[in-house]
């Protein structure tokens, strides 16, 4: 039976990076004769303009009848004036809820040979961390929330709420991922201030008994932000709640030089996962053919790993990206870092657009696959 993958380009640079993702998917599908059907749908501002809804019922139907969903980006100033519940971002939040994706997994990976892309000046070894963020609870979803007038003064309220079961399932996933890597897990919280964080820490300790080969370390979120900047090479798997994960994963993007380099996978218990690059819709560069496709291409790599269980192809895509960057091919978002540290590399760097970068990465990926004897 063919596996269906739903492609949701979205807004801004979303369609451009989705073209890159589809190009990579199609090339690998053909090379490996994979039984995959690519289906297209609408989300975000593009969906609102077409249907009046940021997540139309047709998109929901397509998503629930797919084996995976690949998303470009949503949002932009063009929809600032629409009602809050109709904004593009609400479509994404509703999609996550519809798919019951509770765990956002974001690899932050930068080999030492590419350290000149990082704003850090002290990298001595590879960055290879994995941030596991709880995605459906916490401050973003807690009730009650809203604005009100009390005692003649305007106020606003958000509720930070977590249950033991919500914490347990994300922490268990993080332990399993840590077992497959170095066996080191950092649980990030704010237990010196927040009751939810104290529960989080307690649950993490309880679950730890089932994973004796994993070393658990607790760290406050402010200390973790500092550790990521000072010693990123020492960090392996990080698990944390929704808002802290949102912020720390963007720190991860800064560490490697651009959010355009980061992929993500939002995982469910039932196997229908959502994949998307970490970057936003970047409307100021949309339509110019200069968007960095790497975050999308690596999101495709995560799709090959988590949905299709084709680890060799996933790793070849990662190596293809790293090889392409090492060969001196970059997109405009990386140019400032290269210019600032050009004396540290003997290679000339050439700025190319979205489509050419995609082709370079595909060529490098197939070289990796041929070297390993996976393709002829």
Residue 125 included in any domain: yes
Judge whether 5 is annotated as a binding position. no
Of 4, 94, 140, 326, catalytic: 140
Give the CATH number, domain containing residue 151. Answer: 3.40.718.10
pLDDT band for position 258 (50/70/90)?
Answer: confident
Q: Domain residues for 231?
A: 120-256
Q: Are 57 and 261 in contact (CB under 8 A)?
A: no
Domain membership of residue 86 (yes or no) is: no
204, part of any domain: yes
Residue 340: predicted pLDDT: 60
Range from 57-66, 84-93, 108-117, 363-372 carrying the lowest mean pLDDT:
108-117
Tell me: is residue 285 an annotated ligand-binding position.
yes
The rounded distance, in Å, linking the Cα atoms of 372 and 313 is 11
List the catalytic residue out of 49, 246, 326, 327: 246
**Eight-class DSSP state of 43:** -
Instruction: State yes or no: is 19 an active-site residue.
Output: no
Cβ contact 327:363 at 8 Å = no
Q: Are 71 and 92 in contact (CB under 8 A)?
A: yes
How far apart (Å, rounded) are the C-alpha atoms in residues 263 and 301? 9
Is 36 marked within a binding site? Answer: no
Beta bridge partners of 240: 133, 188
User: Catalytic one among 42, 48, 190, 333?
Assistant: 190
Confirm whether 88 is domain-assigned. no
| 236 flagged as catalytic | no
What confidence tier does 339 reach under pLDDT thresholds 50, 70, 90? low
CB atoms within 10 A of CB 280: 16
Is 333 annotated as ligand-binding? no
* Residue length of the chain: 376
3-22, pLDDT tens digit by residue?
999 999 999 999 999 999 99
CB proximity list for 96: less than 8 A, separation 6 or greater: 135, 136, 266, 274
Nearest in space to 319 (alpha carbons), one of 262, 283, 375, 366? 366
DSSP assignment string, 338-370: HHHTGGG-SSPPEE--HHHHHHHHHHHHHHHHH
Q: What is the pLDDT of residue 375?
A: 76
Active site residue 327: no
140 is catalytic: yes
In a domain, 65, yes or no: no
CA 253, distance to chain mean position in Å, is: 10
The pair phi, psi for residue 85, each rounded to 5°, is -70, -10
- Residue 349: band (very low, low, confident or very high) from pLDDT cuts 50, 70, 90: confident
Count the domains in the chain.
Answer: 1
Give percent of the chain above pLDDT 70. 97
What is the model's pLDDT at position 18?
98
Question: Does 350 belong to an annotated binding site?
Answer: no
Residue 359 lies in a domain: no
Which tokens is 138 given? 């916490």
User: Is residue 222 among the annotated active site residues?
Assistant: yes
Name the active-site residue from 3, 145, 176, 222: 222
The structure tokens 């974001």 sit at 106
Q: Which of 49, 250, 326, 327 is catalytic?
A: 250
Mean pLDDT over residues 317-333, rounded? 94
96 belongs to an annotated ligand binding site: yes
Q: Cα–Cα distance between 240 and 221 in angstroms, integer? A: 9
Distance CA 303, CA 59 (A): 19
Classify residue 128: in a domain, yes or no: yes
Structural domain includes residue 183: yes
The answer to the question of whether 254 is labelled as a binding residue is no
Alpha-carbon radius of gyration of the chain: 21
């Amino acid at each position: 039976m063919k596996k269906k993958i739903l492609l949701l380009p979205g807004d801004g640079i979303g369609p451009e990076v989705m073209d890159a993702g589809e190009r990579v998917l199609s090339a690998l599908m053909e090379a490996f004769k994979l039984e995959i059907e690519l289906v297209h749908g609408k989300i975000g501002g593009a969906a609102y303009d077409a249907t009046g809804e940021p997540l139309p019922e047709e998109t929901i139907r397509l998503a629930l009848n797919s084996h995976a969903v690949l998303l470009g980006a949503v949002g932009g100033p063009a929809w600032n004036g629409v009602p809050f519940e109709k904004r593009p971002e609400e479509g994404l939040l509703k999609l996550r809820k519809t798919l019951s994706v509770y765990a956002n997994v974001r690899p932050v990976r930068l080999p030492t040979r590419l350290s000149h892309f990082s704003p850090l000046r002290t990298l001595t070894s590879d960055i290879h961390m994995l941030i596991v963020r709880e995605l459906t609870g916490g401050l973003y979803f807690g009730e009650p929330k809203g604005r009100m007038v009390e005692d003649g003064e305007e106020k606003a309220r958000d509720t930070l709420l977590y249950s033991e079961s919500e914490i347990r399932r994300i922490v268990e996933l993080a332990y399993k991922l840590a077992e497959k890597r170095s066996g080191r897990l950092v649980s990030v919280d704010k237990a010196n201030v927040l009751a939810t964080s104290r529960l989080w820490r307690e649950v993490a300790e309880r679950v730890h008994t089932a994973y004796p080969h994993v070393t658990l370390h607790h760290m406050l979120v402010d200390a973790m932000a500092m550790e990521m900047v000072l010693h990123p090479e020492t960090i392996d798997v990080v698990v944390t709640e929704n808002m802290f994960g949102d912020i720390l994963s963007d720190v991860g993007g800064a560490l490697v030089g651009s959010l355009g380099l980061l992929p993500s996978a939002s995982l469910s218990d039932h196997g229908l996962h959502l994949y998307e690059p970490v970057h936003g819709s970047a409307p100021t560069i949309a339509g110019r053919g200069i968007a960095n496709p790497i975050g999308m291409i690596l999101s495709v790599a995560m799709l090959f790993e988590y949905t299709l269980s084709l680890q060799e192809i996933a790793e070849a895509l990662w190596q293809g990206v790293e090889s392409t960057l090492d060969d001196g091919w970059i997109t405009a978002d990386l140019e400032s870092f290269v210019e600032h540290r050009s004396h540290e590399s003997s290679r000339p760097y050439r700025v190319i657009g979205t489509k050419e970068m995609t082709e370079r990465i595909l060529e490098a990926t197939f070289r990796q696959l041929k070297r390993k004897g996976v393709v002829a």
